[in-house]
Structure 1
């Protein structure tokens, strides 16, 4: 297990849901870098039918309140680590520009 990995839960089929380097990952593969509350998800009814205790979603992963708390804390810790390298600054700028574009309606 990576030193930066934080276990959020294990799925019913045994795969690990972890936060690794600021992303929620399923079996080591990135799923999402943010959590969405179930109330804001467009497919909330289907998600709640499948996982009645879900309060948040990370990509395609439903999370309970306790799991979401672990994931959100790990995401915040990863975000709080500041890397001042040129590459890291460019990546942060790229993400902010993309978020702004999406907020303004770019798909």
Structure 2
């Protein structure tokens, strides 16, 4: 996916990603977090309209936000290093494990 995005209503927390062919796909923001080790902010996205319990392909990007810290208003960048991916996967796995514990 390309770095282009179109913000929607701030309350909706949605981002439209545009790929290299100009195809648009709407995503919901799962969560954002900051990494002191990499001195970056990250956003994790999943396809909008996904039913609860469905398997989804989660997209992850680093971002530079606007003054309000909103990733839907800033620029997204691909994650390129293996160390960064490992860190993002660890944060995601912790988030998913905590979410599973909250449902019990």
User: Normalized against structure 2, the TM-score is what?
Assistant: 0.32
| Bigger share in strand | 2
User: Normalized against structure 1, the TM-score is what?
Assistant: 0.31
| Greater gyration radius | 1
| Bigger share in helix | 1
